[in-house]
Structure 1
Amino acid sequence: MELLNVINLKKVYSSRFGGNHVQALSNVSFSVEKGEYVAIMGESGSGKTTLLNIIASLDKPTSGDVLLNGKSIVSIKEKEIASFRRNNLGFVFQDFNLLDTFSLQDNIFLPLVLSGKSYNEMNERLKPIAEKLGISDILQKYLYEVSGGQKQRAAVARALITNPQLILADEPTGALDSHATDGLLRLFNEINNDGHTILMVTHSVKAASHAKRVLFIKDGEIFHQIYRANMSKEEMFAKISDTLTLLATKATRGDVRE
């Protein structure tokens, strides 16, 4: 069942007076099935962050559409966008996006507070998530009291607590050391195995090798994709590395072959 459908997305940025035009995306189309774990990779400036921002309803395309469970994200009215994000999307960012003056628990509760949920409901939702993520004993701590890995686990808990249809991760391992990265990637695998759909933008071959499918973007277009199928993480890592090398040296679509 298709959860996300990206249809002929085009994004052109214009200068203030319309003199210069930069095409960030060009007719990008792909779909994500419910329960998939998809990574998006590409060089800086390839358009992957623009694509993620449009899917997150943080930006509007010049043309094309994005459907989440059959509903157009692009056509949502401005006054309804914030509510739509809270109810349907979970976000995990490289820099955590946690508030220094809030405890981890209060940071995790924030989207539910904004939705008007009661404390009892928030607490009931948090208990199983905190146990699964291994942060039950640090919920009352503040950011300066915990490690980067623990901050990112709190950010994942915040993403999960609204029971979103889609989890969007933007370079989630970028600010973590190797130990915390390994822990977060194991966690993402567990979350995906529980049925959550994950779409992750990353530069990390290691992070992408945990996904079930990797999309490669070059110059604003989808150039290639790899399905994990029966490959091990080591085989997936090697295949991704080879593909990135080819994409960096080849200039035209279709030069990458299995």
Structure 2
Amino acid sequence: MPLLDVKNVKKVYTTRFGGNHVQALSNVSFSVEQGEYVAIMGESGSGKTTLLNILASLDKPTSGELLLNEKNIASIKEGEISAFRRDNLGFVFQDFNLLDTFSIEDNIFLPLVLSGKSYGEMKKLIEPIARKLGIEEILKKFPYEVSGGQKQRAAIARALITSPQLILADEPTGALDSKATDDLLKLFSKINGGGQTILMVTHSTRAASHAGRVLFIKDGEVFHQIYKGSMSNEEMYKKISDTLTIITTGGAKLE
């Protein structure tokens, strides 16, 4: 049984006065196994951001099912959504989403505070994660006092601290320089190697080449997918680049 099972998901937006309908997702189906590292790619307007918002329970599909450990995300009641998201999903964003008035440590603690954990429990949880991510020295600093790479490590720590079933990453390397990007991608591979399931939306071929599988979204549906298998990052990079060329030049659906 897959950890995440997306079945025939469709999303149609209706304009304010109901005159026009915009179909963002037409028929998306795929599954993610426990411990997988999956990247989602596609041109702007392909539907990948809409898909991520639905997976994050920030939006609901017009039709279809999204099963996380057999629980249908789309059917969760409005009053229970925040708790479900906090307990089951971890989020890593391009712009970090850290609060400047909170220390790095307090930013990481935030989901635990919202779930009612004691300070003692939070301290026990943060110590091994801070060691693993190399951010022990910056925990008392504020976001504006640290580098972009350190901010992203703090955001990853916040995502990991609740032991989520699934980490959703939205362009996690988008605001980082080359070295910080390399460090982050190595870190994601390490975290995934420890058994954490990761689903990442990215424009970056370099970032996607580190994933175990890449899904390509085109015109609101899954156009193609590549399994990394025994390929090196360089071989995966080339395969992804070739596929993106076909997509952008309007080539036929790949087998």
TM-score band, normalised by shorter chain: over 0.9
> Does 2:135 match 1:135?
yes
Provide the C-alpha distance between the structure 1 equivalents of 2:231 and 2:69, rounded to a whole number of angstroms. Answer: 29
Distance 1:10 1:144 in 2: 40
Which residue is equivalent to 1:40?
40
SS at match of 1:91: strand
Alignment of 1:109-124 (within 5 A): 109-124=109-124
1:156-175 residue pairs with structure 2 within 5 A? 156-175=156-175
Aligned counterparts of 2:144 and 2:114: Cα–Cα separation in 1: 25
- Deviations along 1:208-246, one digit per CA (max 9) or x if unpaired, are 000000000001010000000010000000000000000
TM-score normalised by the chain length of structure 1: 0.98
* TM-score of the aligned structures, taking structure 2 as reference length: 0.99
Corresponding letter in the other structure for 1:63? S
Distance in 2, matches of 1:249 and 1:71, equals 39
SS at match of 1:239: helix
Provide Cα deviations, 1:192-220, integer angstroms capped at 9, x if missing partner.
00000000000000000000000000010
Q: In structure 2, what is the Cα distance between the partners aligned to 1:226 and 1:87?
A: 30
Q: Within 2, Cα distance between the matches of 1:165 and 1:240?
A: 27
Distance 2:145 2:46 in 1: 37
2:100 corresponds to 1:100: yes
Letter of the structure 2 residue corresponding to residue 13 of structure 1: Y
Amino acid at match of 2:109: F
The size of the alignment, in residue pairs, is: 255
Find the residue that maps to 1:2 and give its secondary structure: coil
Amino acid at match of 2:91: F
Q: Deviation digits for residues 71-99 of structure 1, max 9, x if unmatched?
A: 00000000000000000000000000000
Q: Secondary structure at the match of 2:121?
A: helix
Q: Structure 1 CA distance, aligned partners of 2:104 and 2:187? A: 18
CA distance in 1, matches of 2:207, 2:26: 26
Please state how far the C-alpha of 1:250 moved relative to its aligned partner: 2.1
* Counterpart residue type for residue 226 of structure 1: I
Residue 75 of structure 2 aligns to a residue in which SS? coil
Question: 1:62 is aligned with what amino acid?
Answer: T
- Tell me the amino acid that sits aligned with residue 116 of structure 2: G
Provide the rounded CA distance (Å) in 2 between the counterparts of 1:108 and 1:83: 17
User: Residue 23 of structure 1 aligns with which residue?
Assistant: 23
The residue identity in structure 2 corresponding to 1:210 is H
CA distance in 2, matches of 1:95, 1:145: 15
Shift of 1:27: 1.1
Q: Give a deviation string over 1:87-123, Cα, whole Å, max 9, x none.
A: 0000000000000000000000000000000001000
Q: Does 1:9 align with 2:9?
A: yes
1:79-228 mapped onto 2 (5 Å cutoff):
79-228=79-228
Q: What's 2:71 paired with?
A: 71
Q: Which amino acid aligns with 1:240?
A: I
Structure 1 residue 144 displacement after superposition: 1.4
Between stretches 242-251 and 97-106, larger displacement belongs to 242-251
**How many angstroms apart in 2 are the aligned matches of 1:108 and 1:144?**
15
- 1:251 CA displacement: 5.1
1:240 alignment counterpart: 240
Identity %: 76
Q: Does the residue aligned with 2:236 lie in a helix, a strand or coil?
A: helix
Name stretches of at least 5 consecutive residues in structure 2 with no aligned partner: none
- The letter of the residue matching 2:103 is S
Q: 1:242 to 1:251 in 2, by over 3 A?
A: closer
2:56 aligned residue: 56
Determine helix, strand or coil for the equivalent of 1:97: coil
Distance 2:144 2:86 in 1: 26
